Chain A
Amino acid sequence: MSTGNGVVLSAGGVSTTFFTHGGEVTAVRDVSLDLHKGQMLGLVGETGCGKSVLVHSLVNQVRFPGRVVDGEVLLDGEDLLTLDERSLRRVRGRKIAIIGSNPGASLDPLATIGDQLGRAITAHEKVTAPEATARAIEALESVGIPDPERRKDAHPHELSVGMAQRVLIAMALLHSPDVIIADEPTAGLDVTVQRQVLNLLRRLLADLGSATMVVTRDLGIVAQYCDDLAVMRDGSLVEHTPVASFFDRPSEAYSRDLLGRVMTSAVGESTPAPAAAPAAQPAADPLLSVRDLVKYFPVRGAPHLKVHAVNGVSFDVAPGEALGLVGESGSGKTTVGRLVLRLIEPTGGTIDFAGERTSEMSEANMRPLRSRIQMVFQEPHASLNPSTSVARNIDEPLRVTGMGRRQRNERVREVLGMVHLSEADGEKFPHQLSAGQAQRAGIARAIGTEPDLVVLDEPTSQLDIAIRAEIIDLLNEISGQLGMAYLFISHDLTAVRSVCSRIAVMYLGKIVEVAPTAELFANQRHPYSKALLSSVLYPDPAAALPDFRLEAVPEGCHLHPRCPIATPECGVTYPPLVELSAQRHAACYRSDVLVATPTVREERK
């Protein structure tokens, strides 16, 4: 694949150092790489390995107090590292473009997307305003934004993240650059949206023939979309090979390690099967029973509009059971978790916990129950109080239990041990922990009071792959020891699979299917579950799904506009959640059709 010809950008011996008051930190160490015309290079590595700094070094845009201290970056015979700011501006955006992550923050919130695209055009070309507008519309069209004439007047907050990312791509491609660097272009996007964005990017690049580098932590993306692969660790490139040969036999021990961990976490072999699923005990009283739960959020500035975040959700969690709640962001799954904890008030429906109707309790009556329902949050660091030590954070829920100080300290030590943190870690402040350690501390805080139920709100989504697997193992280990029930909210299906015995799939505020884990993965009885699972396992470049916004929930079955097997009936009334077999429920008029078309496992090259 990389035959040496068509080198567009060539970096040689690039080193970047940060001069902080804590000392010098070398973030990029002697990195050399070439980007070839029409090819896509995947740059992988864990958080903190220097990927983003390398990207900034390549365009000579390293932030203070960092500085590129050595090397050269050749583009069209010019060394970008020796150019002054003026010449760099000429190059950036026109010859070399960057697609950032976090599209919401990369767009100017005060300007319409049409204006922003127009500005990007006029920055490099002398065109009239109407011409720029026309070009902007064209660009929006090329990235598959429906109704671009109207959409160009939208402000960034009116777009979904997937849409905003498309706008960023459109902006990057405006001047048909020779080199495109995409820094985590799909971080934070849902699996289905992620696939659409990557497919789009791949298609556009094939048309333009630009050399591309995609920075990611996700080897799955590299396997499916890239030609070459570079592995980075501690600032150095440890491997640089064609993708095919990498997945056959990675030469470097670290790459083998990385690959091994990804493979096992994807296939779910290393992680133990869900600890003794208390299967088929419908007679036992459920620990948590949710019926017809509804939550509307008012829309600011539009009193007649409401966001139907949760729209009639019912489920049970048995004592000791691990129930997974999966769906795209915006499906309402996090809202369900927050309702169960009474962090927000439900609009309608009931929640019963351990035989008590918590949905109607006052905040004060709810307080004694709180030690029995705990929560682990998505952002490991933000969920710990930065002004107190880790141990004091873990101690916080214990204080309301009336334990003495000495007893509490004993308990804190105990749970620190259970999550494999040392006592010294307990003395630290949260910012001194790594993300994985911080999440362990969050788990320790949740289990201190020996709760009956722990709500896990996307506990792994902000962690690196390797650390994800550790946290999953820890969660399994703890539920084995303490026997508490989990409500595991996530869009990470592999994580849910290795922890939960039963999974409920949510789409636009409703549960569309509930099934035991093994059965759900073997055979989905709702088209949305099928789409969700297949977008994880076998991407299908042909199917581009449109984006929906929650205010505009379609009539009838919410899925029918994007459902391949919808009938006219689906567009009229919402299908009820019916029992298909013991423990299996699906809300689809045509679930029988899905039985007839078993999923075909396509083997990728």
Chain B
Amino acid sequence: MDPVEPIDATLGPAPLTGRRESPFRYYLRFVLSRPAGIFGLVMVSAVLIITIIAPWIIPYDPEKTFPGLILEPPSGAHWFGTDATGLDVFSRVIAATRTDIPVAFAATAASMAIGVILGVIAGYFGERRGLGGAVSEIIMRILDIFQAFPVFVLALVLVAAAGSGALNVGIAIAFVNAPIFARLIRGQILGLRRMPFVEAARCAGGTPLRVAFHNVMPNVISPAFVQASVTLGFAILLTAGLSFVGAGVAAPTPEWGLMVASGGRHIITGEWWPSVFPGLALGGTILGFAFLGEVMGQAINPLERR
């Protein structure tokens, strides 16, 4: 019996049996096939590379002032000019990646870990009687409370309570983003848990926690990674935003939000460079992560697979 290649038009294009290209190549090809994907990938790669090599490419120490050069416009020596305290804006924009990007990455990773664990429990045990159902219900209601507040306000409250600084900003961001992951994973698992393979895993003698985390979770983890790309962008925005209102990183640490805030007041007198350059860097970075996440989201959607 030679297996006949299934071509079932009613189910949409079925994956061809036999060879299938590796997931990495598939995603890369998909991302490069869309303009938004190319933009996102280029921006994200550029930001990540700059973050790594920042100490070697900045022309000046980002925290060293040039006393005679207050609000100098962009020039050959200072590409982005200098700010009100005589700091080199270009060096600070580059060096700020070392503040914003690690905080955003760590916070996103933490929120993903918390969110996925809560989501798996809430999804696998949800809407059932007994202890598991009760725990699931409690988790979801707590998440409801978290999500009832605007993200920014909640983060602000958390930082205000715990004190400012990069670590606390990261913790606050991890907290406010965890419910997004939890809900995403829970929804996926609710759809999966009645699949026969889950029952097969129970027949195999797995404990409920083992079935939930070992058998079910690997099937729902890729949407979480896609969500992580979008969340990263917002985490950067949040880090900058908290610093902008003074609840985040304190001067003179180079940070985009802080720079926009302190440079903004000079726009009215025509010195736009201390705020516009960090603003552009911030906007471009967030846009890059958001676009990449968006396209990745399409890539894992089976209806988009061609």
Q: A21-B306, A383-B196, A387-B219 are in contact. Are A434 and B6 (CB under 8 A)?
A: yes
Question: B209 at interface (Cβ–Cβ under 8 A)?
Answer: no
Are the C-beta atoms of B16 and A47 separated by less than 8 Å? no
Question: B280 at interface (Cβ–Cβ under 8 A)?
Answer: no
Known: A27-B9, A53-B7, A385-B215. 16 other contacts (CB 8 A): A21-B306, A47-B8, A48-B6, A52-B10, A65-B13, A367-B205, A370-B204, A375-B203, A377-B199, A397-B203, A399-B204, A400-B206, A431-B17, A434-B3, A437-B3, A445-B200
Are the C-beta atoms of A27 and B196 separated by less than 8 Å? no
Tell me how far the C-beta of B203 lies from the nearest C-beta in chain A, rounded to whole angstroms.
5
Are the C-beta atoms of A382 and B4 separated by less than 8 Å? no
Q: Which chain B residues (187-246) contact chain A, with CB distance < 8 Å?
A: 195-197, 199-208, 215, 218-219
Are the C-beta atoms of A48 and B5 separated by less than 8 Å? yes
> What are 17 A-B pairs at a CB distance below 8 A?
A18-B13, A22-B20, A27-B7, A48-B4, A63-B9, A343-B199, A370-B203, A370-B204, A373-B203, A375-B200, A383-B197, A383-B199, A387-B219, A388-B218, A393-B197, A432-B18, A433-B3
User: Which residue from chain B places its CB closest to the CB of A380 in the assembled complex?
Assistant: B196
- Chain A hits for B17, CB < 8 A: 431-434
User: Which residue from chain A places its CB closest to the CB of B10 in the assembled complex?
Assistant: A52
Q: A62-B9, A343-B202, A374-B203 are in contact. Are A382 and B3 (CB under 8 A)?
A: no
Q: Which chain B residues (153-202) contact chain A, with CB distance < 8 Å?
A: 195-197, 199-202
Q: Which residues of A contact B (CB under 8 A)?
A: 18, 20-23, 25, 27, 46-50, 52-53, 56, 62-66, 101, 234, 338, 341, 343, 363-364, 367-368, 370-371, 373-375, 377-379, 382-388, 393, 396-397, 399-400, 431-434, 436-437, 442, 445, 466-467, 470
Question: B283 at interface (Cβ–Cβ under 8 A)?
Answer: no
9 shortest interchain CB distances as A-B pairs: A383-B196, A400-B205, A397-B204, A434-B3, A370-B205, A387-B218, A48-B4, A377-B196, A396-B204
Are the C-beta atoms of A48 and B7 separated by less than 8 Å? yes
Are the C-beta atoms of B13 and A20 separated by less than 8 Å? yes
Are the C-beta atoms of A386 and B204 separated by less than 8 Å? no
Question: B252 at interface (Cβ–Cβ under 8 A)?
Answer: no
Q: Is the contact region of chain B dominated by helix, strand, or loop, or is it mixed?
A: loop
Are the C-beta atoms of A371 and B200 separated by less than 8 Å? no
Question: B35 at interface (Cβ–Cβ under 8 A)?
Answer: no
Bits for B1-36, please: 1 = Cβ < 8 Å to A, else 0.
101111111101101111110000000000000000
Tell me how far the C-beta of A50 lies from the nearest C-beta in chain B, rounded to whole angstroms.
7
Are the C-beta atoms of B200 and A396 separated by less than 8 Å? yes
User: Which residue from chain A places its CB closest to the CB of B130 in the assembled complex?
Assistant: A363
- Chain B hits for A467, CB < 8 A: 1
- Chain B hits for A363, CB < 8 A: 208
Are the C-beta atoms of A25 and B16 separated by less than 8 Å? yes
CB contacts between A and B, total, < 8 Å: 124
Are the C-beta atoms of A385 and B197 separated by less than 8 Å? yes
- Chain B hits for A62, CB < 8 A: 9
Q: A47-B8, A382-B197 are in contact. Are A341 and B13 (CB under 8 A)?
A: no
Which of A47, A368, A379, A388 lies in contact with B6, CB distance below 8 A?
A47
Are the C-beta atoms of B201 and A22 separated by less than 8 Å? no
A250 CA to B42 CA in the complex, in Å?
A: 63
Are the C-beta atoms of B16 and A20 separated by less than 8 Å? yes
A198 CA to B234 CA in the complex, in Å?
A: 58
Which of B6, B197, B202, B306 lies in contact with A20, CB distance below 8 A?
B306
- Chain A hits for B18, CB < 8 A: 432
Are the C-beta atoms of B201 and A396 separated by less than 8 Å? yes
A139 CA to B202 CA in the complex, in Å?
A: 47
User: Which residue from chain B places its CB closest to the CB of A370 in the assembled complex?
Assistant: B205
User: Which residue from chain B places its CB closest to the CB of A382 in the assembled complex?
Assistant: B196
- Chain B hits for A66, CB < 8 A: 9
User: Which residue from chain B places its CB closest to the CB of A101 in the assembled complex?
Assistant: B10
Are the C-beta atoms of A49 and B4 separated by less than 8 Å? yes
